[in-house]
Amino acid sequence: MLVLAIDTSTPAVTAGIVTVDQAGLSTRADRVTVDARAHGELITPHALAAAEAAGVTLRELEAVVCGVGPGPFTGLRAGLATAAALSHALGIPAYPVCSLDAIAAGVLGTARTEDPFLVLTDARRREVYWAAYDAAGARVDGPHVQRPAEVETTVRLAAGEGAVLYAEAAGVTPIEPRFPSPAGLVSTAREALLSGAEPEPLTPLYLRRPDAVEPTGRKRVTAP
């Protein structure tokens, strides 16, 4: 199965072409740029460039996998809108995955898979999005959004950019990876992809209310 994987939940704008079957998965090509202000500008060009580098066309894709966060509103919606548009235009399913789970899947490729671990990403406002995982990579707590010092756990290994930025405050030792990879995204959705299961809706995990709110009433204007 030929899959396009995209994620804009972190400062990394990520797109890649991954093949997946019962034997495993393989990344054919990827494009990643770390720029927190370029999600909307780069995600579609990155998807097209990854497809070209992999020697395939978008019409050959059989599914899209998209990281749905948690992540900041502006960046996250760029990836979800792109996944939804490609799914509709190509007539293929779009599978949502928790972006923290995709980072956790990347941890399993390291030498520290015998220990439980955390995944922390930058939630801005001096906070982190985080979740806890057992040694097999299964999520056992979260996702949450909190200040680093408020993350209550005895686990000390942590992947994700938040672990690098707030290692001292959270009391953790950073491990790789920092961002979701195409392989990690597809690995998280692998069972659903291969079974042909109906995907869940592409619902973003914001974990916060938006900053912008509707006005509660009109201001009274005094006549001259």
- Structure confidence by residue, pLDDT tens digits, 118-167: 999 999 999 999 999 999 999 999 999 999 999 988 999 999 999 999 99
Q: What is the mean pLDDT of residues 205-220?
A: 62
Strand order across the beta sheet in which 173-174 lies: 139-146, 127-133, 117-124, 157-159, 173-174
Predicted local confidence at residue 220, as pLDDT: 56
Same topology between domain 2-99+180-195 and domain 101-174: yes
Pick the CATH number of 2-99+180-195 from 3.30.420.40, 3.40.50.970, 3.40.50.800, 3.40.630.30: 3.30.420.40
Q: Would you say the C-alpha torsion 132, 138, 140, 144 has a positive or negative sign?
A: positive
Element (H, E) at 203: none
Per-residue pLDDT tens for 51-87?
999 999 999 999 999 999 999 998 999 999 999 999 9
